[in-house]
């Protein structure tokens, strides 16, 4: 019974979210020409809602030609999500290795490490991407070796966009991870385990990582939305033929793109909250 209620609530929340995204997408009409056009706004919101829930075909213009939005937008969505997911995995891996080695080898110099992470985190994404492109071009000019594709020319660009998403955000992930780990090491159970003679590696791998995993997953919300903002810049600078560029081509594409991005993550985190809550109740 509880599962049915949760599923019904999730469907209702998704429907409300879809309607909110439609309203956000049509907001420019409401404030067009520095006025308030409520009638036009509600008409467009109602029109899009009817078209969406009755599965009417959506179209967009390509060089003056009207073409169906589906399945093209799904292909571009999968391309953008491939970059995003690989960026998240790469950033998490870099942050974990950096955190583990720092705590293992440089615990007494943690203040310096934190300042360096703050310095790295402060570099704007735009500057980092431009420097990365300049580095690849410099290497090519000096050695003749093309390390990676700098700009998309009718082909997928993967390596540099993934690095652009992963490296800047890895500083944030590592900072949060170190904060959570330090909090865990100050807890009584860690002191008890230390008193029994267990090594740092054992405590870290067996106890601490397990206890911070849930908090890190919750923190990943911030990381994903930050990476999405970086993805907007990356798609422009690398001339990627992906979702974000398509979303900026019109109102319908923008709204559908927002749905494709937001709804899956919303469902994922909502299911995690259910599982986490149920596990918490069982533990109590």
Q: In this structure, are residues 239 and 151 in contact, taking their beta carbons and an 8 Å threshold? A: yes
User: Is there a contact between 116 and 191 (Cβ–Cβ < 8 Å)?
Assistant: no
Let me know: does 198 contact 189? Beta carbons within 8 Å. Answer: no
At residue 20, the pLDDT reads: 95
- What local confidence, expressed as pLDDT, does residue 153 receive? 67
Q: Which two tokens stand for residue 218?
A: 């919750």
Cα 68 from chain centre: 28
Q: Please state whether the peptide bond connecting residue 52 to the residue before it is cis, i.e. omega within 30 degrees of 0.
A: no
Structure tokens at 239: 């001339």
For 187-223, b/e burial (b = at least 16 CB within 10 A) is eeebeebeeeeeeeeebbeebbbeebeeebeebbeeb
pLDDT at 17: 94
Structure token pair of residue 168: 């800047």
Total-model pTM: 0.88
CA triple 259-150-147, angle to 5 deg: 125
What pLDDT is stored for residue 111 in this prediction?
Answer: 86
Q: What is the pLDDT along the chain (284 residues), one digit of tens a residue?
A: 778 888 899 999 999 999 999 999 999 998 888 788 899 999 999 999 999 999 999 998 887 788 899 989 999 999 999 999 999 999 999 999 999 888 888 878 888 888 888 888 888 999 999 999 999 999 989 888 888 888 776 778 889 999 999 999 999 999 999 999 888 888 888 888 888 888 878 888 888 888 888 888 888 888 898 999 999 999 989 988 899 889 988 899 999 999 999 999 999 988 888 887 555 555 44
* pLDDT given for residue 283 in this prediction: 46
| C-beta of residue 58 within 8 angstroms of C-beta of residue 256 | yes
């Amino acid at each position: 019974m509880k599962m049915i209620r949760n599923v019904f609530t999730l469907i209702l929340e998704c429907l409300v979210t879809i309607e909110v995204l439609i309203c956000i997408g049509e907001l420019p009409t409401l404030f067009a020409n520095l006025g308030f056009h409520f009638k036009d706004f509600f008409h467009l919101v109602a029109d899009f809602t009817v078209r969406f829930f009755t599965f009417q075909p959506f179209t967009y213009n390509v060089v003056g030609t009207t073409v169906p939005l589906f399945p093209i937008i799904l292909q571009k969505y999968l391309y953008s999500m491939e970059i995003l997911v690989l960026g998240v995995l790469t950033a998490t891996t870099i942050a974990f290795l950096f955190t583990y080695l720092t705590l293992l080898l440089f615990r007494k110099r943690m203040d310096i490490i934190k300042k360096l992470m703050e310095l790295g985190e402060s570099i704007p994404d735009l500057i980092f991407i431009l420097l990365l492109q300049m580095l690849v071009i410099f290497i090519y000019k000096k050695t003749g070796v093309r390390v990676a594709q700098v700009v998309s020319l009718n082909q997928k660009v993967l390596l540099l966009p993934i690095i652009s998403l992963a490296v800047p955000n890895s500083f944030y992930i590592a900072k949060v991870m170190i904060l959570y780990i330090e909090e865990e090491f100050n807890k009584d159970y860690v002191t008890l385990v230390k008193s029994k003679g267990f090594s740092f590696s054992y405590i870290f791998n067996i106890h601490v990582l397990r206890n911070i995993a849930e908090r890190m997953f919750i923190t990943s919300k911030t990381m994903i939305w930050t990476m999405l903002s970086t993805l907007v810049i990356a798609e422009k600078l690398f001339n990627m033929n992906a979702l974000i560029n398509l979303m900026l081509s019109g109102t319908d594409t923008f709204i559908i793109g927002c749905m494709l991005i937001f709804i899956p993550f919303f469902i994922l985190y909502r299911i995690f909250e259910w599982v986490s809550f149920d596990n918490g109740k069982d533990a109590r």
